[in-house]
Amino acid sequence: MYKAPRGTSDILPEEQGYWRHVTDVAASIGLLYGYRPIATPIFEDAQLFLRSAAVGTDLADKEMYVFNDPGGQQLSLKAEGTAPVCRAYLEHGMFNLPQPVKLYYITPAFRFERPQAGRYRQHYQCGFEAIGEADPIIDAELIDLAQRFLCSLGLSEFSIGLNSIGCQTCQPQYVEALKEYYSSYFSELCPDCELRFVRNPLRLLDCKKEHCHKIADAAPKTLDYLCTECQTHFKDVQHYLVALRIPFSIKHRLVRGLDYYSRTVFEIEPLEEKSQSALGGGGRYDNLIEQLGGNPTPAVGFATGVERIIANLHKQGVSIASCTAPVAFIAHMGKEAKLAAIELGARLRRSGVSVVIATGSKSLKSQLRQANSLNTSYAIIIGEQELSTATVVLRDMKAKGQTTIPLAHIEKALS
């Protein structure tokens, strides 16, 4: 028997109501804040992700699904949504449009991670990107959007962590200070952090191991090393957030797992915090477009993980109705009634009523059992008696009562 690959899962019909809920809310929030939908391919040139995530991140080093296509081109399954959107922004000349260009997407993303609760090899993201604007007002508006998105879905128990990691001018000095601090703890670091020390020191702050965590807690803070411009930018972001009444807390160890960020970074955690639990995260990526071959273009964005949102909807007791039940089930007894059933089914579907017609020649009891398991509102029963009198039996599956009505009145009875 084949099984879904490790770290992937099927989204069965009974879960689809939750998925539809998340995608509907994403679309209405997008509209509310002036974001337009975009979809990019499932695979891209592998270098797009390798250049944007940069060496020393888990994503670039060991999590990408890279392969050569039969034509010999090195491709990668989409590892995240931001770099492809930036690629599309450049490829389609969106820099010629009034800025910022605001785009949102719902996409699967593929990462070869060790699967565990809330961490999958294929997961879905809802992402929002505002490209072409440096004004801190857009950072705050995006965090407001993130908060409104989660609240509109029905979630309430989450917190927003905020930090600034500086820019190309001030971050190098911070990294030097960080390395100096960590050099006296080098022998105590976990093997991953030893590597981070050499390849990507900022990531030291994000280690989940308890001992490294304690060392990171006392490490120098990015905020103490910001240049004047970054200080002002961060102060303004906070100022706008206060005006918008968005509760947030400064998290000194918040640096994000991808390497393209500068200045504002933020993450949204459920209140019951676990290591792999972030509901969403994002920040500024003012250098990414230039890194991908464009002119210097400031940008800011964030993405949420759909599976984690749905898990939290379940955890917080938010129930979403399943949207898959047909209105009516047509049961029939006898060959002629079966013909009448398929004709009636076609007639009802033409007038927009969703129906399932019984197949085979099962007993009425077993046909009604099927209607019950499909959760239809009505069963329409056609037998010899009904055929001869041009009527049908209409059974209310919830109230369990039934009446005989003229066939000609069926649409009216179901409306």
Give the residues lining the site for ligand HAM (CB under 6 A): 80-82, 111, 113, 118-120, 123, 125, 127, 129, 257-258, 278-282, 285, 301-305, 307-308
Q: Output the smallest distance, CB 83 to ligand HAM, in A.
A: 8
Of all helices (H) and strands (E), which one includes residue 164? strand 158-164
Q: Output the smallest distance, CB 290 to ligand HAM, in A.
A: 16
d(CA 108, CA 106): 7
Q: Output the smallest distance, CB 115 to ligand HAM, in A.
A: 8
302 versus 378: smaller Cβ distance to ligand HAM: 302
Residue with tokens 């999590």: 63
Ranges assigned E (strand) in 227-327: 249-250, 262-270, 280-284, 299-305
Question: Is 207 in a helix, a strand, or coil?
Answer: coil
d(CA 89, CA 100): 11
Closest CA to 332 of 411, 393, 400: 393
303 versus 330: smaller Cβ distance to ligand HAM: 303
Identity of the residue numbered 194: E
Q: Output the smallest distance, CB 82 to ligand HAM, in A.
A: 4
Residue with tokens 């490209």: 131
30 versus 282: smaller Cβ distance to ligand HAM: 282
**Contact status, residue 139 vs residue 125, Cβ threshold 8 Å:** no
127 versus 161: smaller Cβ distance to ligand HAM: 127
17 versus 257: smaller Cβ distance to ligand HAM: 257
127 versus 220: smaller Cβ distance to ligand HAM: 127
Q: Output the smallest distance, CB 151 to ligand HAM, in A.
A: 17
Q: Output the smallest distance, CB 118 to ligand HAM, in A.
A: 6
d(CA 206, CA 217): 10
d(CA 27, CA 105): 9
Q: Output the smallest distance, CB 8 to ligand HAM, in A.
A: 10
CB contact set of 383 (below 8 Å; sequence gap of 6+):
332, 333, 334, 337, 364, 393
Identity of the residue numbered 361: S
Cβ neighbourhood burial of 152 (10 Å; 0-12, 13-18, 19+): middle
d(CA 272, CA 256): 19
Please tell me the total number of residues recorded for the chain in this structure.
415
119 versus 362: smaller Cβ distance to ligand HAM: 119
Q: Output the smallest distance, CB 382 to ligand HAM, in A.
A: 49
Whether residue 100 has a cis bond before it, omega within 30° of 0: yes
d(CA 298, CA 290): 9
201 versus 301: smaller Cβ distance to ligand HAM: 301
